[in-house]
Amino acid sequence: MEPRVRFNARIEGVEYDLLDELIGYAVRRAQLSIYEDFAATMEADEITPQRFSSLVIVENNPGISQSRLAEVMGIARSGVVAIIDGFEKAGLMERRASGDRRSYSLLLTQAGTRLLKRYKRAVKEHDERISAGLTLTEKAQLRRLLSKLGTA
């Protein structure tokens, strides 16, 4: 059997050269490591970072439209359709009529709210685990520095 593929940020004896100097690669490295822990944490549940974010956004912006959600997530509107379809089928989200008959108001159902509560606890634990090497001050500093990245 094939060993499960795992990302190791730095392999012994391998020269990374320029990659070690790039901020972009440092972020990518961290992101891959974090994703692995997220996936392992939520393995039993059918939830991804993307879907988790969607639930949180809808909970905190009740009545948001699919187009708006697509904008927040940075994906095409067609992608949101599939995500909401899945949530609706699972009974976690509801497409309710909005004033504008072209669009829906997205809302969490009771079951959705309840499940998200559990997800949030798990994700918080995961986040504390992956950032356990940092002090509170360092975490704040890291968030601050990360928020400054990207094309201005």
Can you give the binding site for its own copies, defined by CB under 8 A? 2, 5-9, 11, 14-19, 22-34, 36-38, 49, 53, 56-57, 59-61, 64, 68, 70-76, 120, 123-124, 126-127, 129-134, 138-139, 141-143, 145-152
State CA 58 to chain mean position distance. Answer: 13
Minimum distance from CB of 143 to DNA (Å)? 22
Span from 77-85, 112-120, 124-132, 136-144 in contact with DNA (CB under 7 A): 77-85
Q: Which residue has the tokens 């509560």?
A: 117
Minimum distance from CB of 109 to its own copies (Å)? 18
Distances in Å between the Cα of 104 and the Cα atoms of 16, 50, 72, 79, 95 are 49, 20, 16, 16, 6
Q: Encoding tokens for residue 62? A: 């009740």
Q: Which residue has the tokens 């072209």?
A: 102
Q: Encoding tokens for residue 92? A: 């976690």
Q: Encoding tokens for residue 128? A: 């504390």
Q: Which of residues 121-150 bind DNA (CB under 7 A)?
A: none
3-state DSSP assignment of residue 120: helix
Q: Encoding tokens for residue 106? A: 């997205």
Residue 23 binds what, of its own copies, DNA, none (CB under 5 to 8 Å, by partner type)?
its own copies
Interaction of residue 100 with DNA, rule CB under 7 A: yes
Interaction of residue 75 with DNA, rule CB under 7 A: yes
Minimum distance from CB of 23 to DNA (Å)? 20
The closest alpha carbon to 124, from 133, 134, 135, 116, belongs to 116
Minimum distance from CB of 66 to its own copies (Å)? 14
Which residues are at the interface with DNA (CB under 7 A)? 1-2, 4-5, 48, 50-51, 65-68, 74-82, 84-85, 95, 100-104
